[in-house]
Structure formats: C-alpha cells, structure tokens
Structure 1
Amino acid sequence: MVLKLYLSPLRSGGSAIVLLVLREKNIPFEYVFVDLTKKESKTPEFLRMHPFGQVPVIDDDGFILYETRAICRYLAEKYAAHGPALIPMGLKERARFEQAASVELANVLPALIKVGQEAVKGTRGMPVDQAKLDVYEVILGQQKFMAGDEPTIVDLFHLLYAPGLASRAGIDLMTQASRPNFTRWWNELLARPAWAKLQAEKEQASVVQKV
C-alpha cells in the first residue's frame, strides 16, 4: 500500500516540510487533500486519525501518525537508505542531532517567532533583537549544518517558519552581511531542488485556489 499524506491543497506549513522530506528521500506517496476552509479536518472520520483536527497526517499501510516533526523522524528512520540520511546513525552523531533538534524546538523557534514580531516593531523605529541568529552564526562557523557537516531534518525544520522572516517588515533577517555563515547555510537550504520544486507547486496551487 502506498503511503498516504493528508495535507492542505496549499501545501503549506507542516505539510510542506513533510512533503519536502518525502521528496528528499524519494519515497512514493499519494496525496489526500483536506480542505480546511470546509472544515474537512473536523469530520468524525478525520478526527479519528488526528484528534486535534489538523494536517499533516500520514497513513503508512494502516499506521497513522500526525505532528510534523514526528512524521519527519519516522520517514527518515524507516527510509534511511533512500536519498540523504537526514538522521545520523552513529552514537555521537545522533547525540549532536538530538541536541540540535532540542535547540530548534525549545530555544530557537520561540526566539525566531519573537524576532518576526519585533521586525514589525522595527518599522516603527523599535530595535529588532537578533541575538539567536548571532548564536547560529557562531555554530555555523564551526560546521556546515546545525547537527554537523551533513544536512538533517533539523535544518529542514527551519523552513517551516523561517522563510517569512526574510521579508518581514522589509528587513532581510536571513541573509545579512554580518552573518556570512548563517547566510551561506540559509541559501543552501533554499537552493535544495526538492524545496525549489515545492515552492513552484505551492505557487501553482495558490493560483488555482484564487480562480
């Protein structure tokens, strides 16, 4: 049975990151679009898969899993031999990966959300606190990616929310000359073929939604 991915037709949010991992790993899958505007995620049938009524959700031959990060971990582990590893297997490498994953979720994600909010304040002459991005600059000056010298799903997780920071309030937070290592890392993520293809599909889907 081909894996089914339940997602919004706009291929946005967490759905986009799961799609990205599926593409990176060359995993066969089937789209099942869920129209959130019609509350299709709140039907009794869907709530049996995801009790919070959200997307994405996967059905892997009867195994139901929700939450973006959990799904991505599962896919990277199950299909370890497909495409780039995305999760290291060595003990110390795995520990570094878990460290980076914890930092992204518990430390950097809340900070970058705050940076985005402060970027809006910046249009009114208030300062934008970019301290967490400065820490990333130090880390990325020592290694190519967040968990080492190879990309992992932790790097890809940043594409869930960080692209919006690049254009908030007209301030380019992600590619500043003062953070060359951070900028190099960010541009490499954006240049990944699977991500570029996904962005093109999202644009097409958005046009269709407006017609």
Structure 2
Amino acid sequence: MKLFVDANYLSPYAMSVFVALREKRLPFEMVLVNLGRQEQSDPLYAEVSTTRRVPAISDEGFHLSESSAICEYLEDRYPGTALYPSDIQSKAKAREIQAWLRSDLLPIRQERSSEVVFLKRSPPPPLSAEAQTSARKLMAAAQGFLPPGRSSLFDQWSIADTDLALMLNRLRLAGDALPARLAAYAEAQWQRPSVREWVNKPRAES
C-alpha cells in the first residue's frame, strides 16, 4: 500500500490516515507530495487522486482519496485495532464528528493553522471575534460529545478521537483557553504512539 501525504507533514487529514494505518499495523510506503510545487496537479498524481488532493492511498490497484473515506475503507477492509465503534449508533456518531470537523469551524482553521500545531511557533495573535464564536461552538460541542470522566469519546479509542483532539489542540497549543477536561483530553490523545509518530516527523519552516 502507498500513502500519499503532503511533503511537510502539515495536513491534519493526512495525519488521520497515517494514524489509522499505524493502528491497523498495516505496512505501507509513504509518498511525499510537495504542495508548494503543485505536485498534486501532476497528471500522474491524478491517476491516484482524481480530486488531486492529499491524503490518498493506493492499495493493490485501488485508489482512494478523502481521509474519512479512506479510514472507513481501512476499517471495512482490514482487521486490527478498530477505528470506529462496533455499535451502529456510536459508529454513526463518530462519523458525524469527523464530518463536522471537516466542514465547519473554518475561522479556527484559518487563525490556528496546522503550522501552529506542528511547527511549534510562538503564540499567534488573539482570535478574532468570528474565531472566538467558532471556538465557543467547538468547546460546547466537544463537551457534549465527550462523556464526563472519560478520556475517549466512546468505550474505546476511535479515529474520531484523533480528529477532535487535533482541532482542540489548534487552540491549546496556541495558548488559547480551554476547559480543563477538554485540555486534558486533547493532551492525552496527543500522547498516543501513532499520533506521536506523526507529530514528531521532521518539518521545514515555511
């Protein structure tokens, strides 16, 4: 299997698939795509990713992009650590959380980019009013999703935990205030070995 990711390991969506593959203990080759050089627009890459986005996988001649679709494919195709809860309703809730994190909260993603998370830069400027509104929405939803006293969203870890922790860490690692239990959850999820492996990848300052 091949996993195509951005060359500087900044994509949170590439991280999600990388973690999924490590959790499944699947062997794979990582192929770096330099987005700054527009390598994703190369016609050869379009043979792997019709949408010309990262991440993408190539698995025995089958090509797939979009991180949540890849994670669901890996779950259905391969044994190993479960990426989603086995209960139908909990699995649907995990997918809801993933879809929401990818489609909403744009002001946070803009003002607390993945460079803040992975390049460990000095604290950015305070959040704008619009981003503060998104942050309050994120925190309220996260507290609703996360049962009190638990360090994961469901009875066992799921890939939705990695995705939610990354969004919360956009704020936490920038020095923005988080409720104590959300900060503790985000920090605990960040210590998972598969996550640490991605976090510790060498990166060049842009």
TM norm. shorter chain > 0.5 = yes
Deviates more, 1:49-58 or 1:25-34: 49-58
* Residue 190 in structure 1 maps to residue 196 in structure 2: no
Distance 1:95-1:183 versus aligned 2 partners, 3 A rule:
same
Deviates more, 1:123-132 or 1:30-39: 123-132
Q: How big is the shift at 1:136?
A: 1.9
In structure 2, the partner of 1:172 is: 176
Larger radius of gyration: 1
Counterpart secondary structure, 2:84: coil
- State which of 9, 25, 28 in structure 1 corresponds to 2:7: 9
Give the share of equivalent positions with the same residue, in percent.
23
In the alignment, what sits opposite 2:116?
none
- 2:161 maps to 155
Q: Name the counterpart of 1:131.
A: 136
Q: Does structure 1 residue 97 correspond to structure 2 residue 102?
A: no
Measured against aligned partners, the alpha-carbon deviations of 1:60-110 in whole angstroms (never above 9, x if no partner) come to 00000001111122123322x313x12122333334334434444455x44
3-state DSSP of counterpart to 1:128: helix
* Secondary structure of 1:6 counterpart: strand
Whether the 8 Å CA contact 1:121–1:127 is kept in 2: the answer is no
Q: Look up the equivalent residue of 2:159 and give its one-letter code.
A: I
Q: Which moved more, 1:123-132 or 1:7-16?
A: 123-132
What residue number does 2:120 align with?
none
Query: Which residue is 1:200 aligned to?
Result: 200
- Partner residue in 2 for 1:26: 25
Q: Specify every segment of 5 or more residues in structure 1 that has no aligned partner in the other structure, as ranges.
A: none
Cα distance in 2, alignment partners of residues 94 and 143 from structure 1: 21
CA separation in 2, counterparts of 1:71 and 1:88? Answer: 16
- Indicate if the aligned counterparts of 1:23 and 1:194 stay in contact, CA closer than 8 A: yes
CA RMSD of aligned residues (A): 3.3
- Gapped runs of 5+ residues in structure 2? 114-122
**In 1: Cα distance, 2:54 partner to 2:60 partner:** 18
Structure 1 residues 96 and 143 mapped into 2: Cα distance closer, same or farther (>3 Å)? farther
2: distance between equivalents of 1:38 and 1:12? 15
Q: Whole-Å Cα distance in 2 between the matches of residues 123 and 89 of structure 1?
A: 38
TM-fit CA distance, 1:5: 0.9
- Give 1 or 2: higher helix fraction: 1
- Relative distance call for 1:82 and 1:56 in structure 2 (3 A) is same
**What is the one-letter code of the residue matched to 1:11?**
Y
What is the deviation of 1:143? Answer: 6.5
**TM-score normalised according to structure 2 size:** 0.76
